[in-house]
Amino acid sequence: MAGSQFATPPRVAPSRPTRRFTLDEANKTLPLVQRIVGDIVRVNAEATALKDHLDSLRDNAEITRANKELDSRVARLAELVSELSDVGAELKDYRTGLIDFMGRHEGHDVYLCWKLGEEKIAFWHELAAGFAGRRPVSQLKETE
């Protein structure tokens, strides 16, 4: 399928949040997170283009070369996702650069939601609500 992109590329373990953040703490990580997530989006697009190209190849030598390049991109994605996990953020979408930080609202866990291109974390949502359930951080009550 031409032009498709990986939601989760094959052979790349999903990121997992490793800590809880206050809104301020999460916003302070954004310069590093922005670099990592920008690289993830770029490398994912490269891997997708290689996968689409690979699907059209018929020559064994070209297939071998393209597979090697694809493996290299997937390995790089795994490194980047691990780096993001080390920061404590969870990658939700490889194409758009959507991530979540574990936070707190009124004594329970929620996600502080950020997407590549946003200046700061401006939204949060309940764990099961997803992107569609985003609420402005002005409604966040970081009390225990």
Q: What is the pLDDT of residues 68-121, one digit of tens each?
A: 999 999 999 999 999 999 999 999 999 999 999 999 999 999 999 999 999 999
Count of alpha carbons within 13 angstroms of residue 93, beta-carbon side: 10
The total of other beta-carbon atoms located within 10 Å of residue 58's CB is 6
DSSP-derived letter for residue 8 is S
pLDDT score, position 143: 73
pLDDT score, position 107: 92
Which pTM does this prediction carry?
0.85
Going by C-alpha positions, the residue among 115, 130, 135 that lies closest to residue 37 is 115
Q: Band of the pLDDT at 2, cuts 50, 70, 90?
A: very low
Q: What is the pLDDT of residues 10-64, one digit of tens each?
A: 555 555 556 899 999 999 999 999 999 999 999 999 999 999 998 899 999 999 9
DSSP of 69-135, one letter per residue?
A: HHHHHHHHHHHHHHHHHHHTEEEEETTTTEEEEEEEETTEEEEEEEETT-SS--EEEETTT-GGG-E
pLDDT score, position 15: 55
pLDDT score, position 124: 97
Residue 29 CA from chain centroid, whole number: 14
The span from the CA of 85 to the CA of 92, in Å, is 12
